[in-house]
Structure 1
Amino acid sequence: MVLFLGPIAMQFQSDFLDLYSEPKYWISNFRNLIWLRNYIIAPFSEELTFRACMLPLLIQCFRPQAAIFICPLFFGIAHLHHIIGCIKEGMNVKTALLVSGFQFTYTTIFGAYSAFLFLRTGHFVASLFAHTFCNYMGFPQFVELYGYSEPKRTIIVVLCLVGFVLWCVLLSPLTTPSWYKNHLFWKVYS
């Protein structure tokens, strides 16, 4: 969550977080198939497939550091079907390819992060929670920053940078395998 420090601050500014305490919000979401797909079914099935099933097989054939970057390529490719959806919605082919190329890039980067979490903690739940949260937050809407007046804009930009630096600094210590009793992949990181 610390990586999204800036976007979370943006949600505080828009009072969007008040919505989370509203029972009707949760009831309507649990009845919405798209919401269930995006925040429960897709993260669960993708993490089960790409991290819990594929990654342990890959580390039998490749060094763990290599597997962390090979497995996400399959995850990124699995998202290329969105090209068809973009074209069906009226987007021209060139734009659909650019949008899908961008999505391939960030899903592959996220996949590497998720694979790292899985191998470090030895638990499917770590990558599942990260996936669900990242799906919920989406790619940060940095364009929104232009709508903020000073000093709010500067504060949010600083929070984005601080969140990124904290994420980088805390990633390794907060995923120490011994904290999670990770004996499955213990040799990978000991």
Structure 2
Amino acid sequence: MAEEEEFSPNLLTDGMERSNGDFVPPDGLCWVSVLSCLLLACSYVGSLYVWKSDLPRDHPTVIKRRFTSVLIVSGLSPLFVWAWREFTGVRTVPSLLALMGIRFEGLIPAIILPLMLTMVLFLGPLTQLAMDCPWSFLDGIRVALDPWFWMLCFSDMRWLRNQVVAPLTEELVFRACMLPMLVPCAGPLAAIFTCPLFFGVAHFHHVIELLRFRQGTLSGIFLSAVFQFSYTAVFGAYTAFLFVRTGHLMGPVLCHSFCNYMGFPAVSTAMEHPHRFIVLSSYLMGVLLFLLFLFPFTDPSYYGLPTPVCTLTSSPSSLCLS
């Protein structure tokens, strides 16, 4: 019991009591947390449809309009966390921004290590991409250092959406804002697997556009939606894990951007690759190394122990410990 008190000295919540060392949340905390997350998710998705247009989602005009609406909602999203904290009476020593992963302590490791870990997981696709790329390594370096290349990227609305705006706003809303509201109610582990459900459901809105523009059969669109929900839910659990372990928003944002660039691994293409053995071996090696480095690369001691979001739980969790 003494260790529990020492672990979470920052949780000072009106109406919370301890009985035999157990944490008793105030009445209705979980309902308020879940409803707040649901309202936040609906606000984010709803902002995409405030603009009436007959154009597809990839049209530059549609993308620019949606940039405006999601940036407004994302900018206001910290108010949801503030309102939740005021309504429930949860008081913490870490600031609101720190709880949302916006802080300087451990920032450099948070930028490097989670991205490296994700690249290890994608060792197979990266190997396949390198073998199929017509450029040499030096050519790739020259392109990456060419300012004109980046000017072209930032002038491309789809690139800007997939690599910058979507990762930043989605991680801010669905991880940085939702996890601080879910952890006091469910604990870190349950919150990691609950948070992605809002993220996965939020991507179901793509079905509306697929049906609207008749881009496939009804069964095909449904299967695509189920697959996308499953993939985004798993990915959301991973970035939620990164957020809880590192206490930083930057790592999940960079990993999100990288995964958007890579896309879902083309395993079927790898099976037919001329150098199939090398490619498939790299796929397997990437998964094994990822599992091996998952906890060492996200050790909270690199990022400031305990991470701010972990101060919202009253009992020690292995996810929050070094």
Larger CA deviation: 27-36 vs 39-48: 27-36
Matched residue, 1:106 = 231
Matched residue, 2:33 = none
Count of residues in correspondence between the two structures: 188
Matched residue, 1:148 = 273
Which of 72, 75, 78 is the matching residue for 2:202? 78
- Code of the residue aligned with 1:62 in structure 2: it is A
- Is 2:299 the counterpart of 1:176? yes
Matched residue, 2:246 = 121
- Code of the residue aligned with 1:12 in structure 2: it is A
Matched residue, 2:151 = 27
Output aligned runs, 1:60-75, within 5 Å. 60-75=184-199
Q: Which runs of 5+ in 1 are unaligned?
A: none
SS of the counterpart of 1:139?
Answer: coil
Greater share of residues in helix: 1
Contact 2:124–2:280 under 8 Å retained in 1: yes
Max Rg structure: 2
- Code of the residue aligned with 1:85 in structure 2: it is E
CA RMSD of superposed structures (Å): 1.7
Moved over 4 A (4+): 16-20
Percent identical among aligned pairs is 44
- Code of the residue aligned with 1:33 in structure 2: it is M
- Is 2:219 the counterpart of 1:94? yes
Q: Distance in 1 between matches of 2:214 and 2:281?
A: 36
- Code of the residue aligned with 1:139 in structure 2: it is F
Matched residue, 2:128 = 10
Contact 1:117–1:175 under 8 Å retained in 2: yes
Question: How far 1:146 sits from its partner (Å)?
Answer: 4.1
Q: Distance in 2 between matches of 1:50 and 1:69?
A: 12
SS of the counterpart of 2:185?
Answer: coil
Q: Which runs of 5+ in 2 are unaligned?
A: 1-118
- Code of the residue aligned with 1:55 in structure 2: it is L
Question: How far 1:19 sits from its partner (Å)?
Answer: 5.2
- Code of the residue aligned with 2:222 in structure 1: it is L
- Is 2:177 the counterpart of 1:56? no
Question: How far 1:173 sits from its partner (Å)?
Answer: 0.9
